[in-house]
Amino acid sequence: MTDLKVVMMGLGYIGLPTAALIASRGIKVQGIDVNQSVVDTINEGKIHIVEPALDGLVKHVVERGLLKASTTVDTADVYLIAVPTPFKGDHEPDLKYVESATRMILPNLKSGDLFIIESTSPVGTTDKMAKIIFEERPELKGKINIAYCPERVLPGKVIYELEHNDRVIGGLDEQSTKAAQDFYRHFVKGELHATNAKTAEMCKLVENSSRDVSIAFANELSMICDKARINVWELIKLANKHPRVNILQPGTGVGGHCIAVDPWFIVSEFEKEAIIIRNAREINNYKTEWVIEKIKSTALQFELDNNKKPTIALMGMAFKPDIDDLRESPSLQVADTLLDEGKFDLLLVEPNLEESNKYDLTDYEAINEKADIVAYLVAHKEFRGFTTEAIELDFCGVRK
């Protein structure tokens, strides 16, 4: 038990589990969100997001008075920022949420406090927020600790990974790095690697860009192999028998709110230098358009051969296998494009969702009697044993 007080700005997929985990160590946490219904839900001991084991943890810490949510910030010793960092316009990072959260904290800051940004951020963001703080509160110069510490958790395993993953911690100076390390030791069992703020910011962006580039290679191969009439899944399996080759699996594109977004934070700032990173983003985006064209040309051929329009099943709406998260999912782009064209009879299938407020979903077990073309967009486990008489288009390797 410590008498440390923590404020967590933003109670979403990252902020809420982090706040709850810190509170579970007996530390008083005030969770701040600008969304009143999020605040009300949490104060009832409930959660507004899907994440295994989080509901029990939140209930536990709220009932013990260790986590309390609010829309207004109280005084604390440690302030953490986990608000969204989307991009705007031509893939420019949008820092308005980080800046507004920083400004909400500003009046409460006092000597000795620790200010940490966890939101995925372009290089130099921590420095920018420090400038804002010291412009408004010049008397705090040299008296507070400011650091950047990115998140690298996997949705679905957030609680475990928050506790066990290694973390990279970069302060604006050595004392800040040390203060942040001391803080994370309260709840992180993984190693806490010290660096400076800029390197820590870039580290997060590079981790996701590295994944994006590797996936782009696999996606490019899938399009080359299609033209060359080579089975890409067999090819990758064979190439990976080489002891130093590890090619990833191709798919419908790249989705989610990290890998499809973060590389742009590098590209927008290092336009001339970030050639592979930009190309990878473009290849992965192009792969989704390629998938749409494949489905359309298969539908056209079906119509010519059978003199009737085919019914097309789109299998999997989530952005990756075995989750219900639709954010930035390439499957939605496929579905929306084909729906907008209005020329196709579509069945949308997502076994991880019972219902959707936007899409009319069909049970995958009913597909067999209804579909003429079955397009696998996401390799959900339910699709692995699926058998059908329909024409199959496997974009995710579920039938390999």
Ligand X SMILES: NC(=O)c1ccc[n+]([C@@H]2O[C@H](COP(=O)([O-])OP(=O)(O)OC[C@H]3O[C@@H](n4cnc5c(N)ncnc54)[C@H](O)[C@@H]3O)[C@@H](O)[C@H]2O)c1
Binding site for ligand X (CB under 6 A): 9-15, 32-35, 38, 82-85, 97, 100-101, 104, 119-120, 151, 153, 155, 257-258
Strand partners, 88: 92
- The length of the chain is 400
> CB of 374: closest distance to ligand X in angstroms?
30
- By beta-carbon proximity to ligand X, the closer residue of 263 and 310 is 263
- Chain residue at closest Cβ approach to ligand X: 12
Pairwise CA distance, residues 364 & 386, whole Å:
9
Catalytic amino acids? 204, 258
Q: Cα–Cα–Cα angle for 288, 211, 385, nearest 5°? A: 60
Q: DSSP characters for 72-102?
A: S----SEEEE-----EETTTEE--HHHHHHH
- By beta-carbon proximity to ligand X, the closer residue of 35 and 75 is 35
- Tell me how far CA of residue 178 lies from CA of 8, 74, 192, 195, 216, in angstroms: 20, 25, 10, 10, 38
- By beta-carbon proximity to ligand X, the closer residue of 158 and 347 is 158
DSSP state letter for 44: T
> CB of 98: closest distance to ligand X in angstroms?
8
Three-class SS of residue 64?
Answer: coil
> CB of 233: closest distance to ligand X in angstroms?
28
Pairwise CA distance, residues 376 & 314, whole Å:
6
- By beta-carbon proximity to ligand X, the closer residue of 151 and 201 is 151
Pairwise CA distance, residues 391 & 93, whole Å:
42
Pairwise CA distance, residues 115 & 105, whole Å:
9
> CB of 349: closest distance to ligand X in angstroms?
24
Contacts 24+ apart (CB under 8 A), 96-103: 97/10, 98/125, 98/129, 99/129, 99/132, 101/9, 101/10, 101/32, 102/129, 102/132, 102/133, 103/132, 103/136
- By beta-carbon proximity to ligand X, the closer residue of 10 and 251 is 10
- By beta-carbon proximity to ligand X, the closer residue of 11 and 367 is 11
